A = this chain, B = another copy of it.
Amino acid sequence: MNTHNIINFLREKGLKVTSQRLAICSFILSRKDHPTAEQIFQELRDEYPTISLGTIYKTLHLLKDLRLIQELGFNNGSIRYDPDMELHVNMICSKCGKIYDYKTKNVKNLWDAILSELNVKPVGQRIDVYYECDDCKNINST
């Protein structure tokens, strides 16, 4: 979703297009690494020195309500934001916390099979695989 699309989307919803809002939306909608609110705040401060953490949170909640992003709560209490709303597997390093998304036709087929067995119509899902990433593996083996 590019800047133009975001502007149109906000306007359609009757929301004002502020520079902060645009920056936060562009940022999170393009990121693949599931950042926290604090991380977004820190990265945007360079370009928007007066931006407030409260605005980050408000915008993230807005995007969540508009179903453009999802929140992922973790067991250390942190909440990370994921702009991929489609079915996918979050590959999470149990050591460093890095995440990447994994999505193939096979995952979808297998997931549909589980759902038909469960016999429910889900309104959402979350699939995490915790593993040790290559970087962390290499550190351990040195």
Contacts and interface: CB of A to CB of B under 8 A. Distances in A.
Given A73-B77, A75-B73, A113-B106, A121 B131 contact: yes
Interface string A29-41: 0000000000000
Interface residues of A, number: 37
Interface of A is mostly: mixed
Contact of A79 (B75, B110, B124): B75
Nearest to A73: B73
B120 A125 contact: no
Copies of the chain in the assembly: 2
Interface in A101-134: 102, 104, 106-107, 110-111, 113-115, 117-118, 120-132
Given A73-B73, A94-B123, 17 more contacts: A73-B78, A73-B79, A75-B79, A77-B79, A91-B118, A102-B118, A104-B117, A110-B110, A110-B111, A120-B131, A122-B129, A122-B130, A124-B130, A125-B130, A126-B126, A126-B128, A127-B128
